[in-house]
Amino acid sequence: RKEVEQDPGPFNVPEGATVAFNCTYSNSASQSFFWYRQDCRKEPKLLMSVYSSGNEDGRFTAQLNRASQYISLLIRDSKLSDSATYLCAVFGNAGNMLTFGGGTRLMVKP
Amino acid sequence: SAVISQKPSRDICQRGTSLTIQCQVDSQVTMMFWYRQQPGQSLTLIATANQGSEATYESGFVIDKFPISRPNLTFSTLTVSNMSPEDSSIYLCSVVSQGQFFGPGTRLTVL
């Protein structure tokens, strides 16, 4: 089993749709959780941290479910510019480091 | 967040040669890492670059193949030695500074 796992997608959604991604992690002792966005041929950029109480930033909502060991990212009112690969990252899942999931590709279409 | 630059941004190299990638940060950072991202894959940690001591390598990566220098808290180099086509990848420098951030990457193609 992969340590941090994501559905690779692609998720093809129309503009304005709501889309959600999940990311599961294997180590219940993992400490911190993040979502990154990576555009084609660019470096990953930190999108948001995921707090135990959940957090929201505009159209983006991130949640943590420790009991089931997953984090989620919800995007409301999808824009064409949201098309990218979304990577989850877990700190402490395998040692004192960030472990990345394989990424979920989102394509928002007109 | 810290501003990270990498040189070169891309290179095409012959098999058997070596390439050194530089990473410069605009502020002093304690934690600096080197990652690899192969085509269509996620990020794999190569090593943690330690200032003033030898780098800490992850399983599957060794110093002879990927020597790393970290002379101070703002700079590091990664060398990809004796390259083969399997080393074709994007190499990313990353630092921790109120979150973990990545440099723009070096796109390496080995012929």
> What is the total residue count of chain B?
111
Question: A60 - beta bridge partners?
Answer: A57, A75
Are residues A43 and B104, on separate chains, in Cβ contact within 8 Å? Answer: yes
Q: How many Cβ contacts (< 8 angstroms) between chains A and B? A: 35
The string of pLDDT tens digits covering residues A79-106 is 999 999 999 999 877 777 889 999 999 9
Are residues A43 and B100, on separate chains, in Cβ contact within 8 Å? Answer: no
Amino acid identity of residue A86, one-letter, is Y
* B105 interfacial to chain A (CB closer than 8 Å): yes
Are residues A46 and B101, on separate chains, in Cβ contact within 8 Å? Answer: yes
What is the pLDDT at residue B42? Answer: 86
Distances (CA, A) of B56 to B20, B48, B64: 18, 5, 13
pLDDT at B67 over 80: yes
The string of pLDDT tens digits covering residues B4-16 is 999 999 999 999 9
| Chain A: residues touching B (Cβ < 8 Å) | 34, 41-46, 49, 87, 89, 97-103
Judge if the upstream peptide bond of residue B39 is cis by omega within 30 degrees of 0: no
The string of pLDDT tens digits covering residues A1-39 is 568 999 999 999 999 999 999 999 998 888 899 999 999
CA nearest neighbour of B54 among B43, B68, B38: B68
Q: In the predicted model, what is the mean pLDDT of residues A40-54?
A: 91
Q: Count other Cβ atoms within 10 Å, centred on residue A109.
A: 11
Q: In the predicted model, what is the mean pLDDT of residues B6-31?
A: 96
3-state SS of B5-41 is: EEECCEEEECCCCCEEEEEEECCCCCCEEEEEECCCC
What is the rounded distance in angstroms from the CA atom of residue B77 to the CA atom of residue A6? Answer: 31
The answer to whether the CB of A12 falls within 8 A of the CB of A107 is yes
Amino acid identity of residue A61, one-letter, is T
* Averaged pLDDT score across all residues of chain B: 94
Residue to test with chain A: of B34, B37, B42, B93, most A Cβ within 10 A:
B42
* Higher pLDDT among residues A1 and B67, named by residue: B67
What is the rounded distance in angstroms from the CA atom of residue A79 to the CA atom of residue B30? Answer: 37
